Copies of this chain bind each other. A is one copy, B any other.
């Protein structure tokens, strides 16, 4: 078997300019002031509601971003991959929840990480098969797994309904496997499809009621259930009462995006990341301007396609980040984006000569950021680059 040595990627060897004018395009920008504002907003809200905020690092995947959330040192976080857990553990994070259902192999890898680093990486499951597998994981790793049972509060994905008899059965099997049952975890993923404050407030309350109910059922069956965890960026912001809940999770709130704008959680001005792109062609007869940011830089995410306002592959701003009204990325191939006027707008396409630079706001911040190896950190309309922040990929 031939194994290639680790290599420096183009991203790692590319120059580090002091201004965005010197950046290779396409490049991912992160506005530090907007990031800080978004972080503070949800932290304040969680404090007012009396719950711990356990931010999800799946969006930022960056120790430098985590340091803006936890300036005084590591705090509780959520991760979407074991690679994220390993990365944050290497930076001193210990209290982590792996919010994806376990496979026997991932549970073993997680517990080996705990054994190696002293981290407390909580696992998620919703079947007796997963619970039963924990006995072997405990034996092989020498670590007692801490476990949350995944709840289904809105028919979104995985999880058990609070009143499903399997909830008690799974809880019993977790204990029988010699693992530690910590509590329950819900994610109101269907809230992304809502768009009025009333509906979002109701979804948050429904998420809370179902989650607390599951915890009460477990307690009635003798499980202490100290952790009652829920969250999604929309319901986290619209929750008015979190009685019975111990912690709130959200991830995309740090950056926000056009989907969250369409849901009604943020303004376009709150969106902290964008892709800097250059004009590389014009097709006046079609009303097209071509840029060097296609789906490789923007992602294929079309999350706004099902919303009231379809933002194509993203909203176009000038180089300083000011929205150019009604100009969107209407089509994307691998390294080409086509800018055009939003259908139905009466506006004319602005003149953007070849070489002009624009910023493109994301439909989905998690997906856009995932296409890039680092953030160039900026502040507002200033062209200066304050820092280059790493982010990780892979599993």
Contact = CB atoms under 8 A, between A and B. Distances in A.
Interface of A: 1-4, 6-14, 16, 18, 24-27, 58, 64, 80-83, 86-87, 100-106, 109, 126-127, 129-130, 133, 150, 157-158, 189, 278-283, 290, 292, 295-297, 299-302, 331, 333-336, 338, 353-355, 366-367, 370-374, 385-390, 392-395
29 contacts: A1-B386, A1-B387, A2-B387, A2-B388, A4-B64, A4-B389, A4-B390, A6-B12, A6-B13, A7-B390, A7-B392, A9-B392, A9-B394, A10-B83, A10-B392, A11-B83, A11-B395, A27-B395, A58-B334, A103-B354, A103-B355, A104-B355, A129-B353, A150-B281, A157-B290, A157-B336, A158-B290, A295-B300, A300-B367
A1 B26 contact: no
A349 to B, nearest CB: 15
Given A10-B394, A158-B283, 15 more contacts: A1-B388, A6-B12, A9-B394, A24-B109, A58-B335, A102-B280, A105-B355, A127-B282, A129-B355, A130-B281, A296-B370, A300-B300, A300-B367, A373-B393, A373-B394
A109 B24 CA distance: 9
Contact of A4 (B7, B367, B388): B388
A64 B103 CA distance: 32
Nearest to A252: B334
A394 B374 CA distance: 10
A81 to B, nearest CB: 6
A106 B292 contact: yes
Contacts of A133: 354-355
Contact of A280 (B18, B103, B331): B103
A81 B395 contact: no
B103 A393 contact: no
A24 B395 contact: yes
Contacts of A354: 103-104, 127, 129-130, 133
Contacts of A86: 10
A18 B1 contact: yes
A24 to B, nearest CB: 5
A24 B82 contact: yes
Contact of A127 (B27, B281, B372): B281
A386 to B, nearest CB: 7
Contact of A3 (B9, B292, B372, B388): B388
A353 to B, nearest CB: 6
A122 to B, nearest CB: 15
A374 B385 CA distance: 31
A371 to B, nearest CB: 8
List the 10 closest pairs (A to B, CB-CB), nearest first.
Answer: A10-B83, A300-B300, A11-B394, A101-B280, A6-B12, A103-B278, A10-B394, A129-B354, A158-B281, A101-B281
Contacts of A12: 6-7
A263 B192 CA distance: 34
